[in-house]
Structure 1
């Protein structure tokens, strides 16, 4: 498992002179900009367009990481921006799908709590306490993030199914049962990640540890 040390300082060597080196950061910001667009599309009843925009946003998450690794366009700002953009994206859109009844309140609450705590890492550790911390996301943490994106996608797809398929088709029931299973698994993952993350976060604030998983 790789461990990366995050600290705001000049960009590392390797692709640093490329005029395209900030493209991954721009893609991450683009993902954040898509949040209000998806809100407007979904609330306006343009469910298919909302699903398409979601797919674009999800692909952008893969693209910015691939570009950064493929062409060595790594920046310390980008190392912070990408996970922050991912969490903001999910944190803002999960409650929307909960309001539609697509996602359980328990899963929604757990995601909001975890991502809110994790987003506090930047202002608390890096800006306020100015700590140099190593971040090594564990396999379960990555799985919980991937599952959250999948739940979002299924939730928006369910709205499309409700709009375009008759009730007799059974499509809505299939999506409902699938989302119930995914959110149950997601809730278990979120609890496990929180149980591991919160105590370690507290130890880092107290200066007892320097690795955040």
Structure 2
């Protein structure tokens, strides 16, 4: 199986995760800013690999599998770092909601594919908006510096709560679409 450029970019995104973790914990002044830039680079490769795959018809089954795995790893690893750094109930609960939803919907998609109903739980626009909100929130939370009196960390917390709300909403949309198959016990 030849690797396409989008799949190589997805692998690169996954490889950036340990780099982000190492930079986050290095302890030098500005380590959080450097970690935020690594996260931003990973987020940009997510957009770029999708754009290239669609634009140049470089989609593959392996890339379709790996891309959402990379996305979920990127979000989960970053949430773990942030909860460890800021162990508040708000951070823990919103992170648990986001990670819990990802696990639940991934399992639902796998099960729906197994019973031939995958089309009912394809990625929707709401899921893309949810992912974008998560990425923005995580980027702001990693940055952890105020700008001109603007308490960015509090902005990031608010964005993360909004992302968690979108996460719940999108999960309900997927569960509603899958409900007939779940109810009928396919």
**Alpha-carbon distance, 1:204 to partner:** 4.1
Per-residue CA deviation, residues 156-190 of structure 1 (Å, 9 max, x unaligned), is: 111xx27xx9xxx745xx11331232123222212
* Per-residue deviation, residues 128-152 of structure 1 (Å, max 9, x unmatched): x363622432222211111111111
The answer for the alignment partner of 2:11 in structure 1 is 29
2:51 match: secondary structure: helix
Q: Which residue of 2 aligns with 1:41?
A: 23
From 133, 157, 160, give the equivalent of 1:147: 133
Distance apart, 1:106 and its partner CA? 2.3
Aligned residue among 177, 190, 197 for 2:174: 197
Report the aligned-residue RMSD. 2.8
By percentage of residues, which structure has more helix? 2
The runs of 5 or more residues in structure 1 that have no matched partner are: 1-10, 12-18
* Aligned residue among 81, 84, 103 for 1:116: 103
Q: Secondary structure at the match of 2:80?
A: helix
Q: Which deviations, in whole Å up to 9, do the C-alpha atoms of 1:97-125 show, x marking residues without a partner?
A: 12222862221111011111233356545
d(CA) in 2 for partners of 1:136, 1:125: 10
Would the aligned equivalents of 1:84 and 1:119 in 2 still touch at CA under 8 Å?
no
Q: Residue 4 of structure 1 corresponds to which residue in structure 2?
A: none
- Distance in 1 (CA, whole Å) between partners of 2:77 and 2:86 is 16
Unaligned runs of 5+ in 2: none
Aligned to 1:120, the other structure's residue is in SS state helix
Number of aligned residue pairs: 180
Normalised by the size of structure 2, how large is the TM-score? 0.81
**Does residue 105 in structure 1 map to residue 87 in structure 2?**
no
- Compute the TM-score of the two structures, normalised by the length of structure 1: 0.72
Report which of the two structures shows the higher radius of gyration computed on alpha carbons.
1
Using CA pairs under 8 Å that are at least 6 residues apart, name the structure with larger relative contact order, 1 or 2.
Answer: 1
